[in-house]
Structure 1
Amino acid sequence: MSKVIAIVNEKGGVGKTTTATNLAYLIGKQNKRVLLIDFDGQANATILIGNKNPNQITTTISTILNNIIDKNYIIEKEEVIIKNKGIDLIPSNANLFSLESKLTTIPFREYILKKLIDNIKGYYDYIIIDCMPQIGTPMINVMIASDSLIIPTQSEILSVKGLTELIRHYLMIKRVNEKLKIDGILITMDSKNTKTSKEVKKLLNSSFKENINIFNTVIPNSIKVAEANVYKQIICEYLPTNKVCKAYENLLKELIEIG
């Protein structure tokens, strides 16, 4: 049975794409069938996994969703998917930014992405969605189409405090998508044993631990992540022995245990 996991946070720069791409890569390494959907107009996952210039790609997630809206037609997955690094990728580009205004004008707008995912999920063990950093109709689409959420939060106090609004939206969507759950909150870019790091963990535990899982795995900070991206690679591809990749391996083990 396929599991659809969305990597979400309304705040940018918290490690969503790093988490989505490395998880997808590690799942693929286990000979599982994995689809990564780049649902962010910045298209960083497309650059890192597809090794493509997003502006030169003619068929993207935006194309698919527009076809569903305008023609009630779902493009054959072979027409859009880029296969690379053991991952099937549905790419994105800046055209996705214009989708929200279009979605606001149509009925059942919250279910457009679900139509796509329901059509293709039987082909995959895992579908990972790298979500754009904003709360709106696109993110509601993601939550309705997903089985679970991973919420990365940077190891900073303000980043943690910003989670409350996201959790509120999750609880609203759960009334519609009853199976939706939060697999966990993931601390990223952590500088171990600093005062800030300790305060972040303390705040997370006091604010959320009673109701929401907080992953035991903490993703450390490393300049090697940005270095890998320069070469259009992800850290687990560029330097598999790096502490960040090892942390993502541990995160995947936790996810498998969660089920």
Structure 2
Amino acid sequence: MLIGILNRKGGCGKSTTAVHLAYWLAQRKHSVMVIDSDGQTSSSQWLTKLNLPSLVINDPDDLFDQIALYSGQYEAVIVDSPAVLGETAKAVLLSVDLALVPVQPSNLDLLATKDIVRLVNQAQKIRKGPPKAAMFLSRASKGTVLLREAQEVLSQTEGLTLLKQVIYQRQVIADAPGQSATVFNMSGDAAFQAAREYEQLFEEALSYGKA
């Protein structure tokens, strides 16, 4: 499966999601390649420490070609898209089977989703269906009004499904890159809870993508 992780807002957990998804799939014996098209190269640097394969590609045309090339070599290709909705993001949406959009439950982040929704809808019209697209709430605080409001707003978005699983704000997630780890191989209750959330998110997302 070809999976793109996109949003034009930085700090929403895009690279963190890409790395954790790659690690989770690799632990289940799937062959995985991550293509890092984000100029900060956060995911590729992190993946190197985890001994997982990654490739940095910034040119939109090269990205389009390489996604197709690696799709025949790996069971899963994950693209970490830049926090800019330009030609690179378009190349991703014109190539992948599933687009995942992490969204923080804040007013500014909810406003910013309009741009990615528009781009996804355009790609779906061009491709006459694909990619399947899903949003999920990331870095959320439990029991807040903002979280409930975000769930209400995003659940009504045309062309994108809001996944039920939420990734909550936890320090252990922020600490993972510095420890050259993921929450899946860190100790403690917080890591265990975060790992459960990511696992449930990925199972839900992949089930939706294959449906």
In the superposition, the TM-score normalised over structure 1's length comes to 0.74
Name the counterpart of 1:5. Answer: 3
* Offset, 1:5: 0.5
* Distance in 1 of aligned mates of 2:19 and 2:162: 20
1:70-124 CA distance string (max 9 Å, x none): xxxxxxxxxxxxxx54x321146xxx4xx4xxxxxxxxxx654222222221111
**Partner of residue 15 from structure 2, selected from 13, 17, 39:** 17
Q: Which amino acid aligns with 1:29?
A: Q
Determine whether 1:89 maps to 2:37.
no
Question: Which region of structure 1 is more displaced relative to structure 2, 29-38 or 170-179?
Answer: 170-179
* Distance in 1 of aligned mates of 2:117 and 2:107: 16
Determine whether 1:245 maps to 2:181.
no
Q: Which amino acid aligns with 2:175?
A: E
CA contact (8 A) 1:111 1:145 kept: no
Structure 2 gap ranges (5+): none
Determine whether 1:124 maps to 2:89.
no
**Partner of residue 214 from structure 1, selected from 150, 162, 166:** 162
Q: Which structure: larger Rg?
A: 1
Matches within 5 A, 1:33-112: 33-51=31-49, 84-85=50-51, 87-91=52-56, 96=58, 99=59, 111-112=61-62
In the comparison of the two structures, how many residue pairs are matched?
207
Q: Which amino acid aligns with 1:25?
A: Y
* Offset, 1:211: 4.3
CA contact (8 A) 1:47 1:232 kept: no
Q: Percent identity?
A: 23
* Offset, 1:246: 1.1
* Distance in 1 of aligned mates of 2:71 and 2:196: 28
4+ long deviations beyond 6 Å:
none
CA contact (8 A) 1:190 1:221 kept: yes
Matches within 5 A, 1:67-216: 84-85=50-51, 87-91=52-56, 96=58, 99=59, 111-205=61-155, 207-208=156-157, 211-216=159-164
Q: Which amino acid aligns with 1:195?
A: V
1:142-169 CA distance string (max 9 Å, x none): 1112122001001212211211111111
Equivalent position SS for 2:94? helix
Equivalent position SS for 2:123? helix
Question: Which region of structure 1 is more displaced relative to structure 2, 132-141 or 228-237?
Answer: 228-237
* Distance in 1 of aligned mates of 2:169 and 2:65: 37
Equivalent position SS for 2:143? coil
CA contact (8 A) 1:50 1:91 kept: no
Instruction: Say what the alpha-carbon RMSD is for the aligned residues.
Output: 2.0
Higher relative contact order (CA 8 A, sep 6+): 1
Determine whether 1:236 maps to 2:201.
no
In the superposition, the TM-score normalised over structure 2's length comes to 0.89
* Distance in 2 of aligned mates of 1:21 and 1:133: 16
